Amino acid sequence: MTDQTDRTELAADHDGALRAPHELAHHLGHPVEGATDAEVAAHTSPGRAHLELLVVGFAALAVSLTQTLLIPVLATLPVTLDTSASNVEWLLTSTLLVGAVAVPLFGRLGDMFGKRRMMLIALSLLVIGSLITCFTSDIALLIVGRAVQGAAVATIPLGISLLSATLPRERVGAAVAVISAMLGVGGALALPIASLIAEHADFHALFWITAVGGAVAIVAVVLVVPEAPTRSGGRLDLVGAVLLSATLVALLLPLAETASWGWGSGRVIGLLALSAVLLVVFGWSQTRIAEPLVDLAALRRRPIVLTNVTSILFGFALFASMIGTAGYVQAPEETGYGFGSSILVSGLVMLPGGLMMLFFAPVAAAMIRHRGAPQTLALGAAVVAVSWVVRIALTDSIWWVVVGGVVLGIGTGIGYAAMPTLVNEHTPVHELAAANGLNTLARSIGTTLASAIGGSILAASTVTLGAFELPSLTAYRELFVLCVVASTLAALLALTIPKERNDERAAP
């Protein structure tokens, strides 16, 4: 071994022991100059890998809870806060819009300056936003707090890309599957938790859950999870960031507000048209900038395009289960389909499905190893389609709703595991965070479409009970049929995704 090799491959840490750079990265909890992602991954022990997965998984769960935590109490907030229902809706809309903008931006910044660093910033915003909402009943400040919370959703794609870069290759599949599943698991867990708390405490207690969870996650990430040494560096494309943010707001805002504004509203049509124009301008700008926010050449790769389109369809089918289950179960029996259940029971009905997403994530990872990610994704979509067939055909017992949810959870857990795997297989390692961020954004677009289209379908066909109008069974079945179509289309698209990996994936 030469003197030069000695200097580059060995370094002394604070206790005087000689360690290679990759060993120092884990020993000290931060990257060391000269270590690569592959070196860090190769020297991660099984115990350490499990611990890192547990920490990142907990962080992802804490963040995903924020997406649906308010839904069970939303109807009571106009009276509690002495404000209008349209103002209260912004407690969800603000989170959605900021999250949509933050995910691709944080992903790009993660590739440039460190995935772990940006993950800690995202978790810090979760804590800050939660604390704002904990200490106020002013609707304006609550909306601000929820908007700050929205940026934290970037934690999930950052966690996926961080583990993909730093865990041993044989452990990446299962880890990515678990973190990806947290998007659905958190949403399913939040509903019964929020319902139970709402029956016994003030709604502010909900935000203490995310504040404490976020704080614990920050400490755990700092102590346990190493940074991925590979960073691209460079400058942030501010022009692209502004254009992409404006495009997403112009697209998602009218979709989120269709229930209030109506599909024929000038605001809806105008904003959707504006989003199309801004998207074209954004795409043009990315071809004229030396360091673009989005690598359009990578984004246009067939496997990435097909995976993101499939993700939109999956996101639609999953969120439709939330709007097509809670109200369905709570509806009076006189509607011909409802069971007159409480908010808590409606949340508990969805809990088994959420747990199935988590349980089937490692199963999906094994399937990916043996059958490939495209076939696994197609199978997940097909299982989701079956779940909606169950909901369409069997309506005489609340247990069929549970069974349908369980089947949906199995399919979603399988599909959500395959999506980031496909993204990782066809993306250079220095663009992982940005690519996974865009895939998460695609799922968010699917959930927004489900809310907009599903809300319109349920409002179009109603039954009248006393002074109330409720969605009819026909309306729910129309929504469920649309979910079958979306899931089937997702399965067919997944089968057209090529299996070959991009050679750049292994490049630093």
Residues 286, 429 within the same domain: no
Residue 463's SS3 state is strand
Residue 24 has pLDDT above 60, yes or no: no
Q: Is the pLDDT of residue 32 over 60?
A: no
Which pTM value belongs to this model? Answer: 0.81
Residues 216 and 244 in one domain: no
Q: Which domain range does residue 360 map to?
A: 298-508
Alpha-carbon Rg for the chain, nearest whole angstrom, is 23
Q: d(Cα 67, Cα 99) in Å, to the nearest integer?
A: 10
Torsional sign, CA 57, 63, 67, 71? positive
Give me the sign of the Cα torsion angle 198, 200, 203, 209: negative
33 burial type by CB count under 10 A (0-12 exposed, 13-18 middle, 19+ buried)? exposed
| pLDDT, tens digit, 9 for 90 and up, residues 176-200 | 888 888 877 887 788 888 888 877 8
* Average pLDDT in the chain: 83
Instruction: Calculate what percentage of the chain has a pLDDT beyond 90.
Output: 34
Same domain, 503 and 359: yes
Average the pLDDT over 58-66 and give the result.
92
What is the per-residue pLDDT for 292? 82
Q: What is the mean pLDDT of residues 60-79?
A: 85
pLDDT for position 261: 83
Tell whether 5 is covered by a domain.
no
Last residue of a domain, one of 235, 259, 280: 235
pLDDT at 8 over 50: no
In this predicted structure, the answer to whether residue 10 has a pLDDT above a threshold of 60 is: no
Q: How confident is the model at residue 31 (pLDDT cuts 50, 70, 90)?
A: very low
Asked if 260 and 228 sit in the same domain, the reply is no
Are 347 and 360 in the same domain? yes
- Clarify whether residues 264 and 216 are in a common domain: no
Asked if residue 16 belongs to a domain, the reply is no
CATH number at residue 101: 1.20.1250.20
Q: How far apart are CA 435 and CA 367, in angstroms?
A: 23
**Does 58 have pLDDT greater than 90?**
yes
Name the least confident of 24-28, 207-211, 484-488: 24-28
Specify whether 207 is located in the same domain as 266: no
How many beta carbons lie within 10 A of that of residue 249, not counting itself?
18
Number of domains making up the chain: 3
Instruction: Tell whether 377 and 420 lie within a shared domain.
Output: yes
Residue 402 located in a structural domain: yes
In a domain, residue 439? The reply is yes
Q: Are residues 253 and 221 in the same domain?
A: no
Q: Is residue 10 part of a domain?
A: no
pLDDT at residue 21 greater than cutoff 50: no
Q: What pLDDT band is residue 501 in, cutting at 50, 70 and 90?
A: low
Alpha-helix runs per DSSP H in 77-168: 77-81, 85-113, 115-134, 139-150, 155-166
Whether 7 is in a domain gets the answer no
Cα(19)–Cα(285) distance, integer angstroms: 46
Q: Is the pLDDT score of 457 beyond 50?
A: yes
Stretch among 349-363, 478-492, 494-508 having the lowest mean pLDDT? 494-508
199 assigned to some structural domain: yes
Whether residue 508 sits in one domain with residue 386: yes
User: What is the tens place of the pLDDT at every residue in 306-348?
Assistant: 999 999 998 888 877 777 788 888 888 888 888 988 878 888 8
State the pLDDT confidence band at 489, using cuts at 50, 70 and 90: very high
Contacts of 261 (CB under 8 A, 6+ apart): 254, 267, 268
Residue 502 and residue 357 share a domain:
yes
Predicted confidence at residue 18, as pLDDT, reads: 36
Q: How far apart are CA 147 and CA 189, in angstroms?
A: 21
Report pLDDT for 407. Answer: 95
How far apart are the C-alpha atoms of 169 and 44, rounded to whole Å?
Answer: 11
Whole-number pLDDT of residue 225: 92
Q: Give domain status of residue 11, yes or no.
A: no
The whole-angstrom separation of Cα 162 and Cα 152 is 16
Domain boundary among 235, 250, 266: 235
Which pLDDT tens digit goes with each residue over 108-132?
899 888 999 999 999 999 999 999 9
Residues 224 and 256 in one domain: no
